[in-house]
A and B are shown apart, each in its own frame.
Chain A
Amino acid sequence: MQRFLDPVVLAEISRLDLIARTVVDGFVAGLHRSPDFGFSQEFAEYRAYSPGDDLRHVDWNVFARTERAYLKRYRGETNSLLTVLLDASNSMNYASGKVSKMDYARFTAACLFYLAIHNQRDAAGLIVFDDEVRNYIRPSTRQGQINRLLHGLELAEPHARTDFAKPLDHFQQFLRRRGLVLILSDFYESPEKILRTIEPLRFHGNEVVLFHVLDPKEIRPDLSGPAILFDLETDHHMEVTPEYVTEEYPSRIQAHITALRDGARSARMDYYLLVTDRPLDAALREYLTIRQGRN
């Protein structure tokens, strides 16, 4: 089953819906053995009927036996709102192997959408941004929403550089209903600025999760000789030495990750590091954990 979650294997599959179905079905099938995670359509509780409740949810078998109306509640029926904010800046194009960060983010988002809509019956929406909002698909549970979201993901091509500040107002405008906000980005910005920009999203009661997508070579570059590197976003060229790359760079990127994680926790946001050579199930687990916590 792990094989279907390997991003390198998924990269061979061209259609995002197929990827999402492959991953989620495999992932869900694997969860049956786990006692920690609930299943969204399994029975949760009975609740006494109160006027105004939807009669379709009344358990008529119980009513026949007891002549009392109870509503049968499922976990999945505690509807939530999932909004994915996908960073489409140029830096997301970086790939040391077959899978770029953008691909990995797309796979992750597609799987989350599939899991949310198909399995949880949640409303899911997408905001693609770089230095401004490129695409917005309003969260919905309508028929065909999953196709719209996947199409939106396919259209998301990296363009400019990341700037969280500029599209923030738009985020505020779009995210008026409380729900779950997942941000997929490589977060190449100072942690303070990122958190300062994102923190307002919490004010509406949103659960905010930062998925920090990084390539393994970004965490520990492999450079055995002096070379010239250029920045994918700024096009800035720089001569670097292997000594710096092996001795100082890892500590700096690690400090950045730590600062981001700590800052996110302080702001009561969840942070998760996604490395593109690891299976996709980490993001799905995170989503389900949060989803379960909300119920």
Chain B
Amino acid sequence: MGFLSPWFLVGAAAAALPVYLHLLRRHTTTPHPFSSLMFFEQRTQSSIRHRRLRYLLLLAFRLAVLLLLALAFANPYIKRPVAHSSDSRMLLVIDTSFSMRAGSRVSDAKREAISVLDSRNPAERAQIAALGSELHVLTEPIQDSALLAAAVQTIEPGDSRGSFAELARALRSIEETTPGPIELHLFSDMQKTDMPASFAEMALPPSVSLVLHSVARDTQPNWAVESVRAPSQVWDPKRAHVEVVIAGYHTPAATRTVSLVVNGKIIDSRKVDVPAAGRATLQFQSLNVPYGWSRCEVRIDSADSLAADDDYMFAVERSDPQPVLFVHQATDSRSPLFFGGALASAAEASFTLDSVSVDHLAAVTLSKYAFVVLSDVISLPPQFENDLLRYVRGGGSILIAAGTSAAHRARIPVLDDNIIEAHDYSREGERFVTVGETDPSHPVMQSSEGWAGVKFYYAVAVDPSSSRIVARLTDQTPLLLDKKIGEGHSVLLASGLDDLTNDFAVQPVFVPFVKQVARYLSGTEDQNGSRLVDSFLELRTTKDEAVSVEVIDPQGRRPLSLKEAASAQSFELTSAGFYTVRLANGKEDVVGVNADRRESDLEPIPEDVLALWTGKGSPDSRQQANLGAHQDQERPRGFWWYAMFLVLVAALGESLLAARYLVTQADKP
């Protein structure tokens, strides 16, 4: 028996209080006067003794309450045997991470696993699992060797990144649900990059004994396309560039041929000198792709053992410049000028501005626009406002600039947010305010440098109850608000886009702001042409199940069931290749998915670290291993709740007895 928090036992000293009260202050009963005792007899022993016994019982209850309370807080435990040897089982885990594609690692691992299965005691139960980014248990603990071998044979290498921390976490979970000794056999290339940042995260439960089977004897050189930077949308092929980084892991200096492949055809090829164990960068100056989605790859001729990382896939959509509807007052000619200029300055932004005054909105068809800008309009035709609301709810987006015209109305159009008040800072002491705080995690604020220099002379205060505040002025007035409406987004600028209410339009930060807003509102921000395996793709922004989505994986299968397609919020990209996705807002997207390039570094974990993990590295670890073996037999089991239950019983008894005692005290002769 032991205590997890022995310091709480000091609290047992509180038991001295009832002892003092009962034993030292017990005889303070006041004698009562009587005229003569000549007719009384000293026949009191039995009664007084009985009473004292009752007081002693009360004292015992009180002592028990205090002592048991101290005991409960000290968290006592006893060591109990947790399992019999017959409960022990063997767990065979085969690493299926991306790096296992190198050479014949997976087949070697499977062969070794089967040999371990064959050499085990046939009565011993075994279980098969595959380790990628998480542990997939393939069988229950069974004795049937044929079934176990078949499970091993079904294992194929994946594209996920391995994680030994995830293995340890899964084993802790297994050990909690089905306690008992586990003999863990891990068949892996013991890749160093699969280790977590902290070794403690790899610590296995004491009842698990680890046996390592490494299928990679030494570090193998490997070249890989580490990253590709390409636009996801192209409207002018001559202005689109592709930037490629080629990395060599433990490689000698070499010259590699890098090819740009579009829809299976090599359209450009370059040679690049990769330094020893270093990186080289090259750029393809144009990306000549046809209209629509194109599946692009960057390939190198590595001739190394891991060929799967010689390709890097990304998708590009070529389209005509997307029109943007800019609605303004007929008298306002400055804001379309500033906004259009900024939009045209953004080199990769493929947008054309369609500037329309509120008087000519009747013939506008909203569906063709990438997004809509309402620049300080006093009023909108009701029909257009309804169409605009429907457009946003269906997945469109809108930027609203609330300038001086906001003073004419109580609500922001489309958003339906209340205008609390309008601040005319030019009439106040400082004449202007600046931006006080920004939310750099919002896509619009990615290039937030320079915001502090913008002077705002006029701003409206809007009730931000259901919006995300992206930026605030120094007087805490929300300046930039993002609100989700249906499948679409709305961004509200609580000031104008002209140079009357602020000097934003003439500041350098205006152009990157317009560019980011355009990318964000048009959805091209989300369309990232390439992603990593195990990342998640957002399928819908609301929980509305009205519209179903469609996902086609690299093998041409539809991994989502009908129910999942109608309700799934996101989808995990589990394998490398091109995914075709039709989102809930109707947009079609193609995504190139690549394995995490940290898997390309094939350097194994040093032997001493492995020895430490298995508990054989040092005398201390051996002791720990022995301790673990001992703990297989005995395991601490806390019983503080029993003590708390006894505290409750003792407190109840004390209350009942003390109540009777108080009644007796009230009696007088």
Report if B33 contacts A (CB, 8 A).
yes
Report if B587 contacts A (CB, 8 A).
no
- Interface of chain B, main secondary structure: loop
Q: Which of B30, B31, B34, B39 contacts A94 (CB 8 A)?
A: B34
Contact present for A94 and B664 (CB under 8 Å):
no
Docked Cα-Cα span, A284 to B324, in Å, equals: 125
Contact present for B33 and A240 (CB under 8 Å):
no
Which residues of chain A have C-beta atoms less than 8 A from B35's C-beta?
91-94, 101, 186, 188, 215, 218, 231-233
Q: Which of A92, A228, A244 contacts B29 (CB 8 A)?
A: A228
Chain B 25-59 per-residue mask, 1 if CB under 8 angstroms from chain A, else 0: 00001111111111111111001100100000000
Nearest 6 Cβ contacts at the A-B interface: A94-B35, A239-B44, A91-B35, A225-B667, A224-B667, A188-B36
Which residues of chain A have C-beta atoms less than 8 A from B29's C-beta?
227-228
Kindly state the interface size class of chain B when it binds its partner. 20 to 34
Contact present for B37 and A229 (CB under 8 Å):
yes
Contacts A225-B667, A226-B48, A243-B47 hold; do A238 and B32 have CB atoms under 8 A apart? no
Which residues of chain A have C-beta atoms less than 8 A from B51's C-beta?
226
Chain A 81-96 per-residue mask, 1 if CB under 8 angstroms from chain B, else 0: 0000000000111100
Which residues of chain B have C-beta atoms less than 8 A from A173's C-beta?
none
Report if B556 contacts A (CB, 8 A).
no
Contact present for A233 and B36 (CB under 8 Å):
yes
Shortest CB distance A261–B (Å) = 16
Contacts A224-B667, A226-B48 hold; do A231 and B42 have CB atoms under 8 A apart? no
Most buried by A among B33, B34, B41: B34
Contact present for B38 and A228 (CB under 8 Å):
no
Contacts A223-B669, A225-B667 hold; do A231 and B47 have CB atoms under 8 A apart? no
Shortest CB distance B643–A (Å) = 36
Report if A241 contacts B (CB, 8 A).
yes
Contact present for B40 and A238 (CB under 8 Å):
yes
| Count of A-B residue pairs with CB < 8 Å | 90
- Interface of chain A, main secondary structure: mixed
Docked Cα-Cα span, A239 to B37, in Å, equals: 11
Contact present for A230 and B33 (CB under 8 Å):
yes
Docked Cα-Cα span, A288 to B39, in Å, equals: 34
Docked Cα-Cα span, A227 to B48, in Å, equals: 9
Which residues of chain B have C-beta atoms less than 8 A from A215's C-beta?
35
Contact present for A230 and B31 (CB under 8 Å):
yes
Kindly state the interface size class of chain A when it binds its partner. 35 or more
Report if A222 contacts B (CB, 8 A).
yes
**Which of A24-32, A54-62, A249-257 is near enough to bind chain B?**
A249-257
- 8 A Cβ contacts from B176-190 to A: none
Q: Which of A227, A231, A244 contacts B36 (CB 8 A)?
A: A231
Shortest CB distance A131–B (Å) = 14
Q: Which of B31, B36, B43, B667 contacts A241 (CB 8 A)?
A: B43
Docked Cα-Cα span, A248 to B43, in Å, equals: 11
Contacts A225-B667, A228-B29 hold; do A236 and B44 have CB atoms under 8 A apart? no
- 8 A Cβ contacts from B39-96 to A: 39-44, 47-48, 51
Contacts A222-B669, A223-B669 hold; do A237 and B36 have CB atoms under 8 A apart? no
Report if A266 contacts B (CB, 8 A).
no
